[in-house]
Amino acid sequence: MNPKNTDLAILGAGAAGMMAALCAADRGMHVALFDPFWSTPNNLELSGGLFPAAGSQLQSMAGVDDSPGQWLADLRAYAGSSVNERIAAPVAQSLPQVVAFLVERMQMPVRFLADVPAPGHGAVRFHSVTPASGPALSDCLRRAVRAHPLIDCRVDVVVSRMERAEKGFELIDAARHTHARQLLLAGGGFGGAADMVTEFIPEMSGALHSGSPTNDGSVIGMARAWGAALAGMDGYQGQGHTHPGGHTRLGMSIPTLGGIMVDRSGQRFVREDIGPSALAAKVLAQPGQLALEVFDAAIEARLGNHSAYAAARAAGRVLEADTLEELARAAGVPAHALADSVALAVQCAESASGSSDPLGRARFAQPLAAPYRASWVTGSLAHTQGGIVTDGEGRVLMADGQAIPHLYAAGGCAAGLSGQGGDGYLPGNGLAQSFGLAFNAVAAMAGD
Ligand SMILES: Cc1cc2nc3c(=O)[nH]c(=O)nc-3n(C[C@H](O)[C@H](O)[C@H](O)COP(=O)(O)OP(=O)(O)OC[C@H]3O[C@@H](n4cnc5c(N)ncnc54)[C@H](O)[C@@H]3O)c2cc1C
């Protein structure tokens, strides 16, 4: 079989792989995009589809003063020493360019979301398409890669053999032998590989996995066999707002807007503003691994751009009540304890001298008021953050810091922006790294 030559082969057609394919094709490169699980929803499709781009033109036109530097400062304040400084600044710089690329070159309906605040972010800076959701964003990218004449979509095809050759890579599937000058690994993380989760993230061993089973760690294993270094393997994005069963979730913004969480006894157990990832382990530690998220109709009215919430609402996951007694009855928690928890939150929100929350929460936003809403949630593992070590241009590095020639990685298979355990994951880090590193990698390939 004569090999078909291509400039770039990509393993994985998710957030990172499709972004890289479009960037490369836009530069005139021929791309072969491989994905054996195209028909199974990947993490991009399961995601909220919300990505930060501090300093984008769309954000600036909406009157928000922000910059890549401010986002980096937020990331460092939130994640401390777990920030992956090899990639953080280059990714921050690339994100406004990613938005411009999608809007101007790909004609995608990407927009700035002025009404999506997120824990740990000092400015509103999330972007998405309409509706703001993972499926809609995935659909836009899929349609674009399918339509591009320079992208050969080798999907639902298994690459049975892959070898490094002197001048690139050989990839063999049932129908074709492909020779690629460059290879980008974009096969996702290892949240779907229970053995790897047990090995690297013991605290989430056996926990509900709300991510895609296609994140099977296979591409990380491949890179490891070629000598790539791995880093941050204990990092993960948890989800402390997941519904039991894992099919729906409330989304990240309810605590930022003033919601609280109580356990089965109606008592608060955590400062709820620590972020959805850090909340996962805290919720899992409660009796029954459950927490009741309590909010109100005013907060619900501000969740218009939150597709995750809309899906949960449609699935009947949200309780409604006109009084706290009614809410306590519907949820099955002691009414007096729930009333005390809400009263303290109201007092903290109304206090002119700042919150005196015994759990340390600084901001409660608006005081909770009738009519009320509530929903029982649990903690889950959404996706993993550890993986292949790269530089800020996505070049795969070995333990001695040398790059493996012509080999790149981005997305869940590559070491993420931050995270030791679930605490260092700043909302939006997943797509930020996937899009930013893929964008930078393609720019670097042009000079490689
Ligand atoms: C529930 C949930 C909500 C989330 N919400 C957000 C959010 O709102 N904002 C945010 O920034 N991040 C979010 N994330 C994280 C985000 O989805 C991921 O960071 C992102 O999708 C990673 O991109 P990826 O391309 O690496 O992985 P994916 O999008 O999962 O794509 C990887 C692809 O690789 C393929 N693949 C696997 N093995 C191979 C192989 N051996 N060869 C070839 N292909 C292979 C898979 O089939 C898959 O299509 C969320 C994640 C989850 C699970």
Q: Is 276's C-beta closer than 6 angstroms to any atom of ligand 1?
A: no
Ligand 1 midpoint to CA 170 (Å): 25
Structure tokens given for 284: 């899992």
Residue 412 CB less than 6 A away from ligand 1: yes
Residue 238 CA to ligand 1 centre (angstroms): 14
Q: What is the reported pLDDT for 279?
A: 96
**Residue from 53, 16, 52 nearest 438 by CA:** 16
Please tell me if the CB atom of residue 441 comes closer than 6 angstroms to any atom of ligand 1. Answer: no
Residue 307, pLDDT > 90, answer no
**pLDDT (tens digit, 9 = 90+) per residue, 186-198?**
999 999 999 999 9
Q: Answer yes or no: is the C-beta of 423 below 6 A from any ligand 1 atom.
A: no
- Check pLDDT > 80 for residue 2: no
Token pair for residue 199?
């090995």
Q: Is the CB of 277 under 6 A from ligand 1?
A: no
Mean pLDDT of 395-412: 97
Q: Which atom of ligand 1 is least distant from the CA of 48?
A: 8
- The span from the CA of 44 to the CA of 430, in Å, is 9
pLDDT tens figures, 286-295? 999 999 999 9
Helix (H) or strand (E) holding 168: strand 168-173
Rounded distance, CA 158 to CA 144, Å? 22
Query: Which of these ranges, 3-12, 165-174, 347-356, 367-376, has the smallest mean pLDDT?
Result: 347-356
Q: What is the pLDDT of residues 33-49, one digit of tens each?
A: 999 999 999 999 999 99
Across the chain, mean pLDDT equals 95
Say how many Å lie between the CA of residue 16 and the centre of ligand 1. 8
Domains in the chain: ranges and CATH? 4-235+385-446 (3.50.50.60), 238-381 (3.90.700.10)
Dump the DSSP string for 95-140.
Answer: HHHHHHIIIIIS----EE-TT---TT-SS--EEE-SS-SHHHHHHH
> Which residue, judged by its Cα, is nearest atom 1 of ligand 1?
47
137 phi/psi in degrees, rounded to 5: -65, -40
Mean pLDDT lowest among 174-178, 301-305, 436-440? 301-305
Query: What's the CA-to-centroid distance between 217 and ligand 1, angstroms?
Result: 12
Q: In 200-272, where do the E strands start and end?
A: 230-231, 236-242, 260-262
Q: What is the pLDDT of residue 1?
A: 65
Q: Is the pLDDT of residue 19 over 70?
A: yes
Tokens of 294: 């309590």
Looking at residue 446, what is its pLDDT?
A: 82
Please, which residues have CB within 8 angstroms of residue 391's CB and are 6 or more apart in sequence?
A: 86, 87, 397, 403
In sequence order, which residues have a C-beta less than 8 Å from that of residue 47 and are 6 or more positions away? Answer: 15, 134, 137, 430, 431
- Cβ–Cβ < 8 Å for 229, 386: no
**CA 310 to ligand 1 center in whole angstroms:** 21
CA of 382 to the centre of ligand 1 (A): 10
pLDDT of residue 370: 98
Is 44 near ligand 1, meaning CB less than 6 Å away? yes
